Chain A
Amino acid sequence: DQQVKQNSPSLSVQEGRISILNCDYTNSMFDYFLWYKKYPAEGPTFLISISSIKDKNEDGRFTVFLNKSAKHLSLHIVPSQPGDSAVYFCAASAMNRDDKIIFGKGTRLHILP
């Protein structure tokens, strides 16, 4: 059973607008969440993370929101730029398994001109 779910396989957003990527999780033991970005033919690269003690973390154009009661997190990109077109993976780790993380299936973001 999937512990980290990204229910939208793809998303198209106009350049300059806000992109919102969503992620749900089922394991209440997860306490650290990450977003990775992946371009074709490259390895994933870390984008932003959030600990369960926070509900928001911001880094430039990227903000991650965490709603623990709903077991939901989202990544906001404002404003969206052409270089943001990529696959975005949501990931989570649990306090009792500090050596590995679980990834979602990814959402492909297309930024339209």
Chain B
Amino acid sequence: DAGITQSPRHKVTETGTPVTLRCHQTENHRYMYWYRQDPGHGLRLIHYSYGVKDTDKGEVSDGYSVSRSKTEDFLLTLESATSSQTSVYFCAITGTGANTDTQYFGPGTRLTVL
């Protein structure tokens, strides 16, 4: 298994509070991704990173920000959580790019915003 961990694994928070999810990898992979999975929507890309301090938006980036200050960690922040951000969040990594390499996923973080 690829060395990917996510923390926390479960979180319940209230609307308007800031939340930070962490993805940590031990594979030294260049690319890291944040997805959310919702019923009827599959996996949707939020943000991704192609190197330290290099990030770009995905298809559902509004309300989210990311940071990558070192290769092994990719943080997803909800500045002011809303109920629509209740979801399961997955981090993924890949070595050489998504069009030539497999993405390995973390175990997920279940976030509930009340």
Contacts and interface: CB of A to CB of B under 8 A. Distances in A.
**Chain A interface SS verdict (over half):** strand
Contacts of B74: none
Interface string B97-112: 1111011111110000
Interface in A35-58: 36, 41-46, 49
B107 A32 contact: no
B18 interface: no
Interface string A79-113: 00000000001000111011111111110000000
Nearest to B107: A43
Contact of A42 (B40, B41, B99, B107): B107
Interface residues of A, number: 26
A34 interface: yes
B43 A46 contact: no
28 contacts: A6-B42, A32-B100, A34-B102, A41-B107, A41-B108, A42-B107, A42-B108, A44-B105, A46-B102, A46-B104, A89-B43, A93-B98, A93-B99, A94-B99, A97-B99, A99-B50, A100-B33, A100-B48, A100-B98, A101-B98, A101-B99, A102-B45, A103-B43, A104-B42, A105-B40, A105-B42, A106-B42, A106-B43
